[in-house]
Structure 1
Amino acid sequence: MTTRRTFIKQTGALGTLSILPFTSSLGNFQERAQVSPNSKWSDGSRLVVSISMQFESGGQPDNAESPFPQNMEKGFKDLPAETWYQYGYKEGIPRMLDNWDKLGIKVTSHMVGSAVLNNPQLAKEIVERGHEAAAHGMNWSKQYNLPYEEEKKFIQDGVQAILQATGFRPVGYNANWLRRGENTLNILQELGFKYHIDDLSRDEPFIIKVKNKDFAVIPYTLRCNDIQLIAGEHYSTDQFVRQVKMEFDQLYQEAAIKRRQLSISFHDRIGGTPQMVNATEQIIRYMQQHKGVSFKRKDEIADLILKDETAIRE
């Protein structure tokens, strides 16, 4: 248990750090900080980086939201918008896969079932190149309003599509726009999932009880998310790089005394553009210069935290 004296010493060290230039003070702080046994990653990592690669394109409904004005007349298909989505599986994911290989890291790909059925070879390639296939629903429909059995089938159908194409059975789940329903977690536990990511409440994974069994929560991000910042807020790639680096710097500093996880999210038709892949390489290379930073798939993070007796439980 942390005593008040220990707490004051730790927060005092952090306070001192905050008034010093970050680049010059970080090394000394790392040497001085007393790391609580309850804050360490069990594999010895100082900070864990969790990257999502959303595989959604090819499974979108007709006239789905796109950069084009939403002014199509009823009864007509938005053909240019369809090509924007096609970019995701024709160029975006292949480019990102090559970049992950170059950087030597593995990621988690949240796959929409209908997108996988339309491009099964690409889904299979993602898994064959060492990345995790996680479930992302059968299609872009909302699920929070479905009756129990209908929602269960919706999730199962998406799992089956991934299993059929890749041979990998997903253990992680991400609902459309994170909007799970009251029954979702019970269904996931019933179907043998280990974790979900539809949570923004912490900067580290934690454990909850679902059907009286442990279930991992691997928090997601909107702060370091291309669909939120690039497509939604119209950030430039330079702004995106700066924001993610600033997030990293703060979490790396905190990670001297506390278990920390940095999440980043990329979507096939956005994060797979040439400029964004270039930006991603800058970000990852920067992180790789810091000691104790590891890049993990979300299933790996879930396995670590579910076995960790010091994990936060809610």
Structure 2
Amino acid sequence: MSSRRGFIKQGSILGLAGLVPPVVNAFASTNKKDMQQEKSKWADGSRLVVSISMQFEAGGQPDNAESPFPQNMQPGYIDLPGATWFEYGYKEGIPRMLDNWDKFGVKVTSHMVGSAVLKNPALAKEIVQRGHEAAAHGMNWSTQYTMSYAEEKQFIKEGADAIEKITGTKPVGYNANWLRRGVNTLKILQELGFIYHIDDLSRDEPFIIQVNNADFAVVPYTLRNNDILLIEGKNFSADQFVHQVKMEFDQLYVESATKRRQMSISLHDRIGGTPQMVKAMSELLTYIQQHKGVAFKRKDEIARMALADKTSIRE
């Protein structure tokens, strides 16, 4: 058959004709729900939702954090040039990206490390003042999945409190360092008043899970359209990045004719804020905005819409 829907439809017809045993009829009936899900739409009428992340991490990194420089520093010494690579993120990268978002009328979600916010409070305030979401990203770059319940709760709370203190907004979304949350992370987030997390790559649309017997939203993240993985990790050129994201968009746009779809793009302060990458994003935004029905949304908007929508996938 030409599609999964066609296969399901054929199974239903054969069942009605008595050409398949009852057990197959039951299977075809069950999959009517799948057919309905494939025809799902965004509650606000959008055809495809694009969500951009702007990681605010620079300034919160530990000494000798991984950078483009060789990882061969001798013990007891600090990688001073490497530190300047991170400084670029808050001195040039985020300010440049903010101007570009304004140019295209796009609002993004900024996952903020608490210690980075405390080091650069004016920039954190500006991000929020310009209409972007301040989401939590831990207090620092510590590995949280090894922490005890109490340690992790304090770690998450300190980072969120730092953001609220500086920006005046309470974060409702969370991103763990390299997505590596622990077994207690979601319970802690629910207890602290968060409504969603992004540390999940399993779908191309938001979905709902149960945490502490209550609804909690998952707004999927991306490694495919991610500058830290592609530009730094795989040495993609800016042109390659543009091409890959365009291909992703084109496929999801086709699927979005009959199915709720979300495309994520992730940019980091010291990478996505370089001149070539901002130029690359300008090209991508120009291309994407030429397509009817595409909406750019912050992740808190996506989470709230998913939580309020009775047709959202539930796991």
| Alignment partner of 1:99 is 2:97 | no
* Alignment-mate amino acid for residue 189 of structure 1: Q
Match of residue 46 from structure 1: 47
Contact 1:51 1:107 in 2 (8 A): yes
Contact 2:38 2:260 in 1 (8 A): no
Cα distance in 1 for residues equivalent to 2:164 and 2:236: 36
Match of residue 116 from structure 2: 115
Contact 1:35 1:258 in 2 (8 A): no
Contact 1:35 1:256 in 2 (8 A): no
* Alignment-mate amino acid for residue 160 of structure 2: V
Q: CA deviation at 1:8?
A: 1.1
**How has the CA–CA distance of structure 1 residues 6 and 159 changed in structure 2, closer, same or farther, with 3 Å as cutoff?**
closer
* Alignment-mate amino acid for residue 6 of structure 2: I
Match of residue 202 from structure 2: 201
Cα distance in 1 for residues equivalent to 2:210 and 2:121: 34
* Alignment-mate amino acid for residue 216 of structure 1: A
**How has the CA–CA distance of structure 1 residues 36 and 214 changed in structure 2, closer, same or farther, with 3 Å as cutoff?**
closer
SS in 2 for 1:63: coil
Match of residue 30 from structure 1: none
Cα distance in 1 for residues equivalent to 2:119 and 2:126: 14
Cα distance in 2 for residues equivalent to 1:109 and 1:37: 31
Moved beyond 6 Å, runs of 4+? 9-12, 34-37
Contact 1:206 1:311 in 2 (8 A): yes
**How has the CA–CA distance of structure 1 residues 135 and 303 changed in structure 2, closer, same or farther, with 3 Å as cutoff?**
same
TM-score of the pair, normalised by structure 1: 0.90
**How has the CA–CA distance of structure 1 residues 219 and 11 changed in structure 2, closer, same or farther, with 3 Å as cutoff?**
farther
TM alignment of 1:185-224, pairs within 5 A: 185-224=186-225
Contact 1:201 1:219 in 2 (8 A): yes
SS in 2 for 1:39: coil
The superposition leaves residues 131-153 of structure 1 with CA deviations (integer Å, 9 ceiling, x where unpaired) of: 00000000000000111011000
CA RMSD across the alignment = 1.8
The superposition leaves residues 77-107 of structure 1 with CA deviations (integer Å, 9 ceiling, x where unpaired) of: 1000010000000000000000000010100
**How has the CA–CA distance of structure 1 residues 290 and 141 changed in structure 2, closer, same or farther, with 3 Å as cutoff?**
same
Cα distance in 2 for residues equivalent to 1:62 and 1:270: 19
The superposition leaves residues 212-254 of structure 1 with CA deviations (integer Å, 9 ceiling, x where unpaired) of: 0000000000000000000000000000000000000000000
Cα distance in 2 for residues equivalent to 1:131 and 1:231: 25
Match of residue 27 from structure 1: none
Cα distance in 2 for residues equivalent to 1:79 and 1:231: 19
TM alignment of 1:1-314, pairs within 5 A: 7-8=5-6, 39-314=40-315
**How has the CA–CA distance of structure 1 residues 6 and 78 changed in structure 2, closer, same or farther, with 3 Å as cutoff?**
closer
TM-score of the pair, normalised by structure 2: 0.89
Cα distance in 2 for residues equivalent to 1:143 and 1:136: 11
Q: CA deviation at 1:37?
A: 8.6
Q: CA deviation at 1:7?
A: 2.2
Structure 2 unaligned spans of 5+: 11-34
Q: CA deviation at 1:6?
A: 9.6
SS in 2 for 1:81: helix
* Alignment-mate amino acid for residue 158 of structure 1: G
SS in 2 for 1:310: coil
**How has the CA–CA distance of structure 1 residues 157 and 36 changed in structure 2, closer, same or farther, with 3 Å as cutoff?**
closer
Cα distance in 2 for residues equivalent to 1:122 and 1:144: 29
Contact 1:38 1:310 in 2 (8 A): no
Cα distance in 2 for residues equivalent to 1:239 and 1:73: 35
Contact 1:138 1:155 in 2 (8 A): yes
Contact 1:56 1:115 in 2 (8 A): yes
**How has the CA–CA distance of structure 1 residues 201 and 11 changed in structure 2, closer, same or farther, with 3 Å as cutoff?**
farther
Cα distance in 2 for residues equivalent to 1:162 and 1:54: 14
SS in 1 for 2:314: coil
Contact 2:242 2:280 in 1 (8 A): yes
SS in 1 for 2:313: coil
Cα distance in 2 for residues equivalent to 1:163 and 1:10: 50
Q: CA deviation at 1:161?
A: 0.6
The superposition leaves residues 112-157 of structure 1 with CA deviations (integer Å, 9 ceiling, x where unpaired) of: 0010010011000000000000000000000001110110000000
* Alignment-mate amino acid for residue 111 of structure 1: M
* Alignment-mate amino acid for residue 220 of structure 1: Y
Cα distance in 2 for residues equivalent to 1:310 and 1:70: 48
Contact 1:141 1:176 in 2 (8 A): yes
